[in-house]
Amino acid sequence: MRANYKTIRAFSAAEVSIQKSRFIGHAARAETEEEALEFIRKIKQEHSGATHNCSAYLIGEHDQIQKANDDGEPSGTAGVPMLEVLKKQGLKDAVVVVTRYFGGIKLGGGGLIRAYGRSVTEALDAAGIVERRLHSLMKVSIDYTWLGKVENEVRQSVYPLKEILYTDSVDLYVYVPAEETDAFTAWMNELTNGQANIEQSGEEFLEFPV
């Protein structure tokens, strides 16, 4: 499983007008090629009257799946520039569609490349970028007598507290960066004089704005 990577926060769209043509950039997260293709299909359906609906996406930890489609624009002037914006921003699992309503003025190859690239950048700015960081979910089981001290220390620490479950003992579930589990375990043992039972109960991604 990948550790940390950047991706699109949420679906968004942004419109720019260039030489009387409307360019509407749409950006979304897509973790599979099927999700990317469905997103493209929906945008094309929504803007079925547009002159072009150009698209690009990259999927996978190592960008194993990369596709770009000019949708009738001159070859290499739309889809590839759009894909390059995703790469330059270091994004993973991302799909973009730029809808163009032609305004009657031709932009030329260079103009199209700049227009489609700008449209993607605007859409990404509107959508927001997050870094997904892999965390271990650590389960800390303690006697009730330790609860006040441990909970207070955890809440004041850099480690997010997911939840506390109250059974025969108290179980605190804490998010810890994957590379810091040993340090966290040592800290808990020191805090409780070795009275805590600490184990990893899973892994989850947390998202942080970039």
Q: Are 41 and 61 in a shared domain?
A: yes
- Which of 83, 112, 127 is where one domain is finished? 127
Q: Side chain identity at 32, as an amino acid letter?
A: T
Q: Do 107 and 198 belong to one domain?
A: no
Domain boundaries, position 57: 4-127
The neighbouring-strand residues paired with 101 are: 22
Residue 172 pLDDT: 98
Nearest alpha carbon to residue 115 among 25, 7, 207: 25
Task: Specify the residue for token string 């909970």.
Answer: 151
Q: Which of 75, 106, 127 is the last residue of a domain?
A: 127
- Say which CATH number the domain at 52 has: 3.30.230.30
Element (H, E) at 131: strand 129-142
Q: Which pLDDT tens digit goes with each residue over 64-108?
A: 999 999 999 999 999 999 999 999 999 999 999 999 999 999 999
- 122 and 136 co-located in one domain: no
* Dist CA 189 CA 29 (whole Å): 40
Number of domains observed in the structure of the chain: 2
Q: How far apart are CA 103 and CA 106, in angstroms?
A: 8
CB 94 within 8 A of CB 29: yes
Distances, alpha carbon 144 to alpha carbons 80, 136, 169, 185, 200, in Å = 59, 24, 6, 19, 21
145 shares a domain with 107: no
The answer on 106 and 39 residing in a single domain is: yes
- State both tokens at 168: 């025969």
Check whether residue 65 and residue 149 sit in a common domain.
no
Pairing of strands 52-59, 65-69: antiparallel
Residue 147 sits in a domain whose CATH number is: 3.30.70.240
Choosing from 127, 157, 192, the residue where a domain stops is: 127
Q: Residue ranges of the alpha helices (H) in 55-198?
A: 79-88, 108-127, 147-155, 181-191
User: Do 140 and 75 fall within a single domain?
Assistant: no
* Residues 16 and 76 both lie in one domain: yes
Residue numbers in the chain where pLDDT is lower than 70: 1
CB 127 within 8 A of CB 85: no
Indicate whether 112 and 198 sit together in one domain.
Answer: no
Query: H helices of 164-207, where?
Result: 181-191
Query: Are 109 and 54 found together in one domain?
Result: yes
Are 25 and 101 in the same domain?
Answer: yes
pTM of the model: 0.89
Q: Based on the fold, state whether residues 98 and 163 are members of the same structural domain.
A: no
For residue 1, what pLDDT is reported?
Answer: 66
- Residue 2, pLDDT score: 80
